[in-house]
Structure 1
Amino acid sequence: MTTEQYDIKTNINIGQEIFENIPNDIRPGWAGLVLSRFDHYIKNIPTSISELYQIIDDKDRWKEAHEQFTKIRVFGLENKNYKPENYLRLAELVAKVTYNASGEPAPFDSDSGHYIASLALKATEYFDDNRLEEEVKSTILLFNRNKKFKDNLTAAKDFLLYKKIDDILWFDWDPIGINDIAPRDEYQGYVPEIFGLVKAKADRQEIANRLHKLEMENMGMSGTIENCLTIADKILKAQ
């Protein structure tokens, strides 16, 4: 464990600084992204957490996160032996942050987001996987490394979208089938082009065609346009 990771785990002031550097409208997306680092490690993601992702993706539904917090809490109470417990606690914090960002009355504690960084890193300990720990740390620090995002909502939204596209290409597209063994940057060279297509309002067919062409011409893979259409849908939904 690096000194930086240790400090984030133990010093709540660092968690506060990280969280408060993120614009309010970006906080649910960032928190959900941190939580989603565990998706490929949890065998059966609780329905209450899967539903939370859907709420995060739709700003008009953020107010529903209060009820979703209750569902996650109830799941934990009914499944006292669920492991890792810190994963459920993290999901509760993500729900709180999402509801607070909605601006609805009776918000949760304003410092709820301060604990996300610490708890996320603690949750990785259960899996004892360096790749997961590095992925979580990298996501936690997404906005902390560039202070301009705090006052530039458009840039922050674009940066979050860029990261989501990077994730989709790595976790879902992965045409070579190496995301469990290869370096994390294997497909990152393709992210700028796909991001550019999304920003240019390309439709699902255009994005899918480009992905399929990359598979065939750059990687020597056959792939299928049907799968690329599925990936294109995920990319467009990430906006």
Structure 2
Amino acid sequence: MLLNLNKMNDVKKTFDTINKIVADWDPLGVGETIAEDEYAGYIPEIIQVMKNDQSLFEYLSQILANELGRGFDSTDMKHVEGLKSICDKIIRAYMDI
């Protein structure tokens, strides 16, 4: 039972940590009070695709372009570097949990 509680705590901590990073990023600009709820639905899939930087990068760029309507230009280095920075933050945080 204790093992299951520890695992549940780890899952919640992982979810909360990644959700905070995505909320701080706030690609829609909804603001701090709404952001954590706004992006929470994406966190389980983010956790699933975190096997490598490229998978996470592709998933987040797809979200930006197709679901959030923010567009993502893979030829724009500002877009690419910004998204890589978010991917790095997510992966580093996950490794530290």
After TM superposition, is the score higher than 0.5? yes
For Structure 1 versus Structure 2, the TM-score category normalised by the shorter chain is: 0.7 to 0.9
Partner of 2:16: 163
Stretches (4+) displaced over 4 A: none
Q: Is the 8 A contact 1:209 1:225 kept in 2?
A: no
Which residue number corresponds to residue 37 of structure 2?
185
Question: What residue is the counterpart of 2:80 in the other structure?
Answer: 225
Task: State the 1:196 CA deviation.
Answer: 1.6
Q: 1:166 to 1:184 in 2, by over 3 A?
A: closer
Aligned to 2:48: 196
Q: 1:181 offset after TM fit, Å? A: 5.5
Alignment size in residue pairs: 86
Write out aligned runs for 1:4-15 (5 A). none
1:68-91 CA distance string (max 9 Å, x none): xxxxxxxxxxxxxxxxxxxxxxxx
The 3 A distance-change label for structure 1 pair 214 and 154 is same
Q: Distance in 2 between matches of 1:214 and 1:187?
A: 11
Structure showing greater Rg = 1
- Map 1:104-143 onto structure 2 (within 5 A): none
What is the distance in 1 between the residues matched to 2:35 and 2:85? 24
Amino acid at match of 1:234: K
Normalising by structure 1, we get a TM-score of 0.33
Residues 88-135 of structure 1 show CA distances to partners (whole Å, capped at 9, x for unaligned) of xxxxxxxxxxxxxxxxxxxxxxxxxxxxxxxxxxxxxxxxxxxxxxxx
Query: What runs of 5+ residues in structure 1 fail to find an aligned partner?
Result: 1-147
RMSD (CA atoms): 1.9
Task: Return the letter of the residue paired with 2:54.
Answer: Q
